[in-house]
Structure 1
C-alpha cells in the first residue's frame, strides 16, 4: 500500500485525483493539503510514499516545496504550466502531467511509480514516530539514549532531555531496530551506541545515567559494550 499525499490549492483538483485513484487498490490517499505550508507540517510528522503536487500555489510553490524537503518521496507533478517540467525532472520527479489530466495519462504515471519501486530497494527509516500530547513526533534513533516505562506512558531520554510519549514499551520495541536497541530491564530499553560502561549489575550511558540490569535479561547482554 503506497501512502499518497495530495497537495493542490484547488479543491476540484483533489476531487479529480481521488476519482482517478478509486480503482487503484495499492494506493491510499492519507492526506489532502491545500498549500505547501500545510504539506510541510504534515510531512514533518508522517511518512508518505508519493506526493501528487501542484506547482502554482500561494506563498510557496510546488518546486520550492520540493527543494526544502530533505527526504523526498516519489512525486507526480500535476500543473497547468508546462514550463516547470524541466526543473521538476532535475529534482528527480517521477512524472509531470498537464491539467486537465485524463484517467489514462494518470494511470501511466502510477505505473511509473510502481516501476521505480521495483528498481529501488526499500528505504530504511532512521527515526520512530511517537505520540506526544495531541501530535505525532519524530525521534531520531541516534538521539535516543534510553526509553523508560512510566505507567501508561514512556519517557524517551535524549541526553538529559526527557519527553513523555503515549505508548507501551512493547509497542515501541516493535518499531526499533534490534541491532541498535536492547531491553536491559522490564522497564528500560537502551541504545547500544550510548552505552559507555557495563558491569554485572549496571549499565552506564552517555548521559551519565546508570541502569540496573534485570536478572532475566543479563544472559543476552554480553555484546552490549
Structure 2
C-alpha cells in the first residue's frame, strides 16, 4: 500500500524523494542516477527532463529542503530588528534567529529519519560540489548573521568570529543529525526535537563561546602548561 500511494505522487516529487534518500544514505558521489530512478520508479530521461543532471537534482533537493529555512532566517532577523529599533541585536537574539529554524525543521522532520540523515551527510560530506552548493545557497544569509554578530561581539576580529561561527554550525549539524544519541546520552533529558527545551540551552552554550575573550596568538607555540 505505501508503494501504491507513492506511485500516485507526481514523478518530479517522487524523484526528489528518492534523491533525498539516496544522497542522505550515500552522499553525492556515492549516489547514482541508476539507484535514484529505481527508487523513484521512473526512467532516466524523466530525471533529465526535470533536472538536467545529477548536479541539478542535488540543487533541487537542497532548495526544496533548505530554501524555506533560508526564508525563515530572514523573517526572524527582520522581526527581531523591528523590535530592537535602533539598538543592535544582542548575541542571544542573533543566535535565536540562527538556531530556531533548523530546530523547527528537526522537530518537523522528527518522524523522518531521512531528513536527519541528510543534515548529517551535508555537514560531513567531503564532496566539493555538495559544499560549494551549500555555501552558494546560504552565502547571503550567512553574511547577514556574521554582520550582526560582529556588532554584538566587537572584541572579536572577523577571523576569530568566523572560526567560532564555523564551530557553531558544525556542532549544531552534528547534534541535529544524531538526535537519538543526544537523547540517550542525556538520560532522556535533552530532546532536540523539543524546541522549547533545546533553544534556550543551545543559545546559552553558543553565546558563552562567542562572548569569551579572543584567543591569544602564541605564534604557533603551545600555550604555557599545554600539551607539547
Q: TM-score range by the shorter chain?
A: under 0.3
Structure 1 or 2: more strand by fraction: 1
Higher-Rg structure is: 1
Structure 1 or 2: more helix by fraction: 2
TM-score, with length taken from structure 2:
0.24
TM-score, with length taken from structure 1:
0.24
